[in-house]
Amino acid sequence: MKILITGGSGYVGSVLIPKLLNDGHKIINIDTQWFGNYLEKHKNLKNIKSDIKNINEIRFNNIECCIHLASIANDPMAELDKNLSWETSALNTHRLMEKLIKNKVKRIIYASSGSVYGISNKKKVTEDINLNPISLYNKVKMVTERVILSYSKEIDTFIIRPATVCGYSPRMRLDVTVNALTFSALHNKLIKVFGGKQIRPNIHIEDMCDIYRFFLKANKNKTGIYNAGFENKSIIDIAKLVKKNIPTKIKIIKDLNDPRSYRLDSSKLIKAGFKPNKVISDAVKDLKINYDKKILVNKLDFYSLKWLKKILKKIN
């Protein structure tokens, strides 16, 4: 199948694209490459370094599906330039959708976010509950979902609301919970936990990529919105789990720098036929192996917020 991926040079895309190439797919990846490009050359991979706002300049030929990952991908980054956040996701997604429809692309799979639920004390946060987005990032994701769903009569739409992803990728993100706590334990022998009681859902990067692969093949009667997260844990429990694998001190700081707290219930995804294969401790162990081999190193571009700040200074 010929697949268009947006944002494929990012953390998730850098693991997903090699898997799709291995499955025998042909890939066109459009990415601004803000965080570089760690994808190896392949005869079936075309990397286009561009903003999706220029989507109309790209020649489409027999593309059957689009996996839409491009986004400013966390809360503090979205706040850096609010207009850019709306433009990158909502407005550009509108342009992307028009182009997909015009070229008769049959399917779109969108990486939304489980954080659209904001703060929720419900034990079961299922796809049908009211959204309570509290940050700009959450609001942009919610609106972008709506933009895509408004085209659902013309294209099969699959909206995925992932938990926080964890595990090793060549384009590493050290700003997401499990990765950040694990790296801090490895590098500083210290984990600082802010608050700690906030509940966050998690998903291993391998399972995340397998969900996108699952929806490439899923029957069109399965279109809709799916939560994707399998382990709901408090931040302090994640820190303790890291400590089980890596000797470290844990320091609890009372300030709550990020109050988001929610669980994800992914029964709908499991019922549709997806089975997760990995758990958080697999991610912690993989990160340790890569750190010990000096493959995982401390690089500024692995801290998305600090890196994007630098890039935006250059652009503006």
Ligand X SMILES: NC(=O)c1ccc[n+]([C@@H]2O[C@H](COP(=O)([O-])OP(=O)(O)OC[C@H]3O[C@@H](n4cnc5c(N)ncnc54)[C@H](O)[C@@H]3O)[C@@H](O)[C@H]2O)c1
Report the alpha-carbon distance of residue 63 to residue 240 in Å, rounded: 45
Minimal distance, residue 52 CB to ligand X, in Å: 4
The terminus-to-terminus CA distance of the chain in angstroms comes to 39
Among residues 136, 287, 304, 307, the one that binds ligand X under rule CB under 6 A: 304
Site string for ligand X, 176-195 (x = CB under 6 A): x-------------------
Among residues 9, 47, 120, 182, the one that binds ligand X under rule CB under 6 A: 9
Structure tokens at 97: 């959708």
Element containing residue 264 per DSSP (H, E)? none
Q: Going by DSSP bridges, is the β-strand pair 231-234/199-204 parallel, antiparallel, or unpaired?
A: antiparallel
Minimal distance, residue 249 CB to ligand X, in Å: 26
34 binds ligand X (CB under 6 A): yes
Among residues 85, 157, 164, 182, the one that binds ligand X under rule CB under 6 A: 164
Burial of 82 (0-12, 13-18, 19+ CB in 10 A): exposed
Among residues 3, 4, 5, 11, the one that binds ligand X under rule CB under 6 A: 11
234 has which bridge partners?
Answer: 199
Residue nearest to ligand X (CB): 10
Report the alpha-carbon distance of residue 144 to residue 211 in Å, rounded: 20
162 binds ligand X (CB under 6 A): yes
223 binds ligand X (CB under 6 A): no
69 binds ligand X (CB under 6 A): yes
User: Residue with structure tokens 């990415």?
Assistant: 31
135 binds ligand X (CB under 6 A): no
227 has which bridge partners?
Answer: 161
> Stretches 160-168, 191-199, 285-293, 295-303: which one binds ligand X (CB under 6 A)?
160-168
How many residues belong to the chain? 316
Structure tokens at 212: 């996108």
Cβ(178)–Cβ(166) under 8 Å?
A: yes
Nearer to ligand X among residue 51 and residue 258 (C-beta): 51
CA angle 169–159–281, rounded 5-degree value: 35
302 binds ligand X (CB under 6 A): no
52 binds ligand X (CB under 6 A): yes
7 binds ligand X (CB under 6 A): yes
138 binds ligand X (CB under 6 A): no
> Stretches 58-66, 122-130, 162-170, 180-188: which one binds ligand X (CB under 6 A)?
162-170
Q: Which of residues 73-132 bind ligand X (CB under 6 A)?
A: 73, 88, 92, 111, 113
User: Residue with structure tokens 């093949």?
Assistant: 217
Nearer to ligand X among residue 36 and residue 196 (C-beta): 36
Size of the site for ligand X (CB under 6 A): 30
Task: Please report which residue ranges of the chain form alpha helices under DSSP H.
Answer: 13-22, 75-80, 82-86, 92-102, 136-149, 177-188, 205-217, 235-245, 267-271, 280-292, 304-315
If phi over 0 gives left and psi between -120 and 50 gives alpha, with beta otherwise, what is residue 219? Answer: beta
Minimal distance, residue 163 CB to ligand X, in Å: 7
Nearer to ligand X among residue 232 and residue 304 (C-beta): 304
Which residues contribute to the site for ligand X (CB under 6 A)?
6-7, 9-13, 30-35, 51-52, 69-71, 73, 88, 92, 111, 113, 162, 164-165, 171, 173, 176, 304
